[in-house]
């Protein structure tokens, strides 16, 4: 049995992530694996789907349905947090890329760019002379 304190912590975590019980699809499915007739008869595996994000989770960590419900919700929270973390990192990466693109170039860099442009234009001019 899950303690009331753990249940409260889980509900707070779900609230921070914007996961509400009415936004979850929960099913109880027959378990799989070793265990014989007992595992085939009882529906202790928990299937959760978060409708807003489309994340699906299945959990059969223990023999108790209530424990599996708790574990499935914990797993769902972890996946949502990971997705949010990835989105934040991608946003930071794009910001850094844009900042790099818009940076001011040093005098030496400007000089090298100008020399390279000059060389390229001279090369093109030499090509035109051959065709005429």
- Cβ pair 66, 1 in contact under 8 A: yes
Report the pLDDT value the prediction gives residue 111, as an integer from 0 to 100: 96
Report the pLDDT value the prediction gives residue 79, as an integer from 0 to 100: 96
Quote the crossing angle between the two packed helices 4-17 and 65-101, to the nearest 10°: 30
The CATH number of 4-82 is 3.30.160.20
- Sorted by where each begins, the domain ranges of the chain are 4-82
Q: Residue 130: is its pLDDT beyond 70?
A: no
Please indicate, yes or no, whether the overall pTM of this predicted structure exceeds 0.95.
Answer: no
pLDDT digits (tens, 9 = 90+) for 26-76: 999 888 877 777 777 788 899 999 999 999 999 998 888 899 999 999 999
């Amino acid at each position: 049995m899950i303690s009331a304190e753990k249940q409260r912590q889980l509900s707070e975590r779900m609230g921070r992530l914007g996961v509400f019980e009415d936004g979850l699809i929960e099913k109880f499915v027959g378990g799989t694996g070793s265990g014989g007739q007992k595992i085939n008869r009882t529906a202790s595996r928990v299937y959760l789907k978060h409708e807003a994000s489309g994340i699906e989770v299945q959990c059969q960590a223990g023999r108790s349905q209530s424990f599996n419900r708790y574990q499935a919700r914990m797993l769902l929270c972890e996946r949502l947090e990971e997705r949010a973390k990835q989105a934040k990192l991608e946003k930071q990466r794009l910001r850094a890329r844009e900042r790099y693109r818009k940076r001011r170039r040093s005098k030496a860099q400007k000089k090298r760019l100008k020399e390279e442009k000059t060389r390229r234009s001279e090369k093109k001019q030499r090509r035109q002379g051959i065709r005429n």
